[in-house]
Chains A and B, each alone.
Chain A
Amino acid sequence: MSVQTTALKMVATREAYGQALLELGEKCKDIVVLDADLAKSTTTIKFGKKFPDRFFDMGIAEANMMNTAAGLATCGKVPFVSTFSIFATGRAWEQIRNTISYSGLNVKIVATHGGVAVGADGCSHQCIEDFALMRAIPTMTVIEPCDAVESKKAVIAAYHRPGPVYIRLGRSPVPVITEEKDPFEIGKAVYLREGKDVSIVACGAMVVLALKAAESLSSQGIEATVIDMHTLKPIDKEALREAARRTGAIVTAEQHVLEGGLGSAVALVLAQEHPVPLEVVGIDNRFGQSGDPETLFKEYHLTPEDIFQAALRAFNRK
């Protein structure tokens, strides 16, 4: 499979969420949606307009919203709970941990505005710690889809997966690189490009940048495998072992602090099961700030060039 990286349609993953809810809501009467005064931003408003009886704006009160969802879940509803990722996973972490997850309740937390790509709102609204927070909770499923098409599939898959699921979505439009017909399975990595020299494992908006880095690498005679690791937990260990075996060097790329995110998850598997040189691209011990996404990606070393350099380092360590 080879994926184009130029002249692609740009759609924010959150837009796909609103659309997916609309379609799911029609068929699945057990879906209820809760939002905390951000229904326009998270796009749950679409569902709210169509199914007002199954939509609850809970006001600016995230902790209460999480537990209201828990209560709905105990009565057989499948609540989709949305707000910005920092408020969902930060403000209401303990509600997610103690009341939703510990009880195995069927609540889907779909949070938007993940990563520094949020842009102008700045640090307070750029969640770069959510993977760590959600991965740390036993039994939680953690997903970041790479584009709008995959987002819709992830939302549908989350509905069909029993138990708590966290999906991180983005605010800003990102290129659509996958197709409707591509398979999607929670916990199963997607190979977007095959190469023998190094593997780049990325999630979310970093996936298309990884593909761009792979093109630069190719022009230098280095062929990279690119893996869309949309599910951070449970992570596809088999895919990682396979990548380590076949290419002998791995790079990860994520819009998250280095502690506790994709890089950490991959390191955990590789270190124990198939140690190979690993380089991690992510945010190194800094907070976000205001700026347009492109500027911020440069500032935080999240560009194709950064991935390219990391891949060279990994390759040369083989």
Chain B
Amino acid sequence: MVRPSIEELQEKAKVVRRHIIHMLAKAGSGHPGGSLSATDLIVALYYGKLRHNPKNPKWPDRDRFVLSKGHGCPAWYAVLAEQGYFPVSELDTLRQFGSRLQGHPDMKRTPGVEMSSGSLGQGLSVGLGMALAARIDKKDYRVYVMLGDGETEEGQVWEAAMAAGHYKVDNLCAILDNNGLQIDGPINDVMSPLPIPDKWRAFQWHAIEINGHNMKEILEAYDRAETLKGKPTIIIAKTIKGKGVSFMEGHVDWHGKAPNKEEAEKALAELA
């Protein structure tokens, strides 16, 4: 894979953010905050790291990506469409009856979607299973799982963290979208998962801390994670919920509310 330049990635991320706004405005519902915070991480992964083939989504040796925080799927759908897994025009059907683009990821309907999600707390366990399968089959594919920071309040995440540490699955890489917010407020107020890196290290993980909106840092972290052996790695990416749309940034209200026509136009102007 020829890795695009940082500028190209940034431009792609802008395109994806515009899609997100369009899709949510059209659908009239959905989750902008966590889609926008995750955008740069997902764009960098698909354009700069993941070994995959949009023409052959089930290629057995592909790297896997699981979006455990399934409500962020508009960002994922937009990247998959841009990558050619399905037509970009289909993004308009998000959340509609009969659409392949369900409100939350559905592996049986959507090409490129590796695992259904939406019920938080389950994806890391799935990723662990995929990583163990690679070990059994002596394959070198890697498995990436994106988690929300609020999501890590789910006990199952820590069951998975413990098991992955125990089995030393160094082909597993978690990506934490650390935007600091969940639905009811800031994570520290609702149910603090702090200190985040110490917790993961205590569960026998490597932890890398980065700025999740800096393409260079993101790519370096993906590369470095691949070289870290003997333990799984978590990339703790500091992000801003609603990133790219000034009136959404850092606002808990924009977790699960679609922009109306006017708001969408304002957002798109900022993302031009």
Contacts and interface: CB of A to CB of B under 8 A. Distances in A.
B127 interface: yes
A48 to B, nearest CB: 14
B56 to A, nearest CB: 15
A32 B136 contact: yes
B129 A67 contact: yes
Contact of A72 (B121, B123, B132): B132
A229 to B, nearest CB: 30
Interface of A: 32, 53-54, 56, 58-59, 61, 63-77, 79, 94-95, 98-99, 102-104
B159 A72 contact: no
B129 A71 contact: yes
Contacts of B108: 102-104
A63 B129 contact: no
Interface residue tally of chain B, by bracket? 20 to 34
B116 A71 contact: no
Contacts of B162: 59, 61
25 contacts: A32-B136, A58-B163, A59-B162, A59-B166, A67-B128, A68-B126, A68-B128, A69-B129, A71-B115, A71-B129, A71-B130, A71-B133, A72-B129, A72-B130, A75-B133, A77-B136, A98-B118, A98-B119, A99-B115, A99-B116, A99-B119, A102-B108, A102-B116, A103-B115, A103-B116
A53 B136 CA distance: 7
Closest 5 CB pairs of A and B: A71-B129, A67-B125, A75-B133, A64-B159, A61-B159
B172 to A, nearest CB: 10
B122 interface: yes
B226 interface: no
Contacts of B166: 59
B130 to A, nearest CB: 4
B136 A98 contact: no
A75 B130 contact: yes
A73 B133 CA distance: 9
A53 B128 CA distance: 15
Interface string B128-142: 111111101100000
A71 B159 contact: no
A100 to B, nearest CB: 10
Nearest to A60: B159
Contacts of B228: none
B119 A71 contact: no
Interface in B98-134: 106-108, 114-119, 121-123, 125-134
Nearest to A98: B119
A67 to B, nearest CB: 3
A79 B128 CA distance: 14
Interface in B153-172: 155-156, 159-160, 162-163, 166-167
A61 B163 contact: yes
Given A63-B156, A64-B163, A104-B108, A77 B133 contact: yes
A164 to B, nearest CB: 13
B119 A68 contact: no
B147 to A, nearest CB: 13
Nearest to A72: B129
Given A59-B162, A102-B116, A104-B108, A73 B129 contact: yes
Given A58-B163, A63-B125, 19 more contacts: A32-B132, A59-B162, A63-B155, A63-B159, A64-B156, A64-B159, A67-B156, A68-B126, A71-B127, A71-B131, A72-B130, A72-B132, A72-B133, A75-B133, A75-B134, A98-B119, A103-B108, A103-B115, A103-B116
A74 B126 contact: yes
Contacts of B136: 32, 53-54, 77
A71 B137 contact: no
Contact of A71 (B106, B126, B156): B126
A74 B167 CA distance: 19
A99 B122 contact: yes
A94 B117 CA distance: 12
A69 B128 CA distance: 9
A59 B137 contact: no
A103 B102 CA distance: 13
Contacts of B127: 71
Contacts of B131: 71
A72 to B, nearest CB: 4
A75 B66 CA distance: 13
